[in-house]
Structure 1
Amino acid sequence: MKIKRQKKKQIMLMLCILLILMTGKIDFGGEYTRLEHEYLGNRISCDVIRVVDGDTFVALLNEQEEKVRLIGVDTPESVHPDKSKNTEAGALASEYASGLLENQTVQLELDVQERDKYGRILAYVYLEDGTFLNEKLILDGYAKIATYPPNVKYVDVFKKAAESREQK
């Protein structure tokens, strides 16, 4: 009888810990904590401060500057510390992204992982007019598909965009 009661307590404790971890309400001293934001549907509104390169920008979230990395796409290098890896195509992609993003309010949509190993927020990005930026970069030839599980929500959209681009 006593063993059954102990087992029940252990199970309840584990369930409580699991629930706390899943909601992200406790900060265990890690460098990055979960975003606190107001959702617009399933999107987060933020102001773009500057563009880092074709697939990364800095945004103001919760009165804090955060780097945002577009999910599912990769543009050529333009600001790599090893200058030999930077390309003219990367500079063009960066310039193109700057023209679309700088001083704009955008909507971020998260996928399974909120951040990458560098602490950047991983997001699908929508421009003020509703344009899906990740897809647009592929359609306009500035990015290629680069999907990494588990963040694969729009992989089919990106494949279709790449096919459409190849037919042009």
Structure 2
Amino acid sequence: MLAFALVLTGCVDQNADSSKQVDKHHIAGHIFVKEPKDAEEVQFVEHVDGDTSKFRIDGKVETVRYLLIDTPETKHPELGEQPLGKEASEFTRKMLENANRITLEYDVEKRDKYGRVLAYVYADGKNVQEALLKKGLARVGYIYELPPAFG
């Protein structure tokens, strides 16, 4: 959990020179990712599935793929609907529709090979990726290179 929380938040070694440290809450041995101060506020436009949504960013509607997680498919042309796909999709939709404030935090790469924006998503300050993982509706995925602090 600790390693995941650190990877999920983009935290680096406390001794490393870093201008971007993410605040975390420690409650009963668990780490909860807290929305960073520099997260960009966006407007929710449309739900796609458990790990993809559309937001208005700087006046333009963009498809956003959630960093570091993968949820079961609901509309895949070859895989069809996978177990827990509807549940993951519905959980994400409700979290975003019920939020008063949605923000994004970007990683080093801002877009994927399909042109989608890559981001950590926060609904009322709660990390959506972390919430999906805690509910068992997502898996950690798409970690290609760890930050230097983990290498």
TM above 0.5:
yes
- Where does residue 32 of structure 2 map in the other structure? none
Q: Which has the larger radius of gyration?
A: 1
Q: Which amino acid aligns with 1:145?
A: V
- Where does residue 56 of structure 1 map in the other structure? 52
Q: Which amino acid aligns with 2:115?
A: G
- Gap change, CA 1:112 and 1:80, over 3 Å in 2: same
Indicate yes or no: 2:61 matched with 1:69.
no
SS at match of 1:138: helix
**Relative contact order, CA 8 A, sep 6+: which one is greater?**
2
- Where does residue 101 of structure 1 map in the other structure? 96
Instruction: Output aligned runs, 1:5-84, within 5 Å.
Output: 41-82=37-78, 84=79
Query: Which of the two has greater helix per residue?
Result: 1
Query: Which of the two has greater strand per residue?
Result: 2
Of the candidates 84, 87, 111, which is equivalent to residue 107 of structure 2? Answer: 111
CA deviation map 1:84-103 (0-9, x unaligned): 43224111110111110126
The TM-score normalised by the length of structure 2 is: 0.67
Question: Structure 1 residue 120: deviation in Å?
Answer: 0.7
Q: Measure, in 2, the Cα distance between the counterparts of 1:117 and 1:131.
A: 27
Task: Report the count of equivalent residues.
Answer: 112
Q: Measure, in 2, the Cα distance between the counterparts of 1:139 and 1:103.
A: 19
Q: Which amino acid aligns with 1:87?
A: Q
Consecutive unaligned residues in structure 1, runs of 5 or more: 1-39, 157-168
CA deviation map 1:52-92 (0-9, x unaligned): 0000000011211100111011000002133x432241111
Question: Structure 1 residue 46: deviation in Å?
Answer: 0.3
- Gap change, CA 1:114 and 1:46, over 3 Å in 2: same
SS at match of 1:114: strand
Q: Measure, in 1, the Cα distance between the counterparts of 2:68 and 2:60.
A: 25
Question: Structure 1 residue 115: deviation in Å?
Answer: 0.5
- Where does residue 139 of structure 1 map in the other structure? 134
Of the candidates 131, 148, 164, which is equivalent to residue 143 of structure 2? Answer: 148
Consecutive unaligned residues in structure 2, runs of 5 or more: 1-35
Of the candidates 81, 92, 96, which is equivalent to residue 86 of structure 1? Answer: 81
Percent identity of paired positions between Structure 1 and Structure 2: 37
Q: Measure, in 1, the Cα distance between the counterparts of 2:98 and 2:77.
A: 26
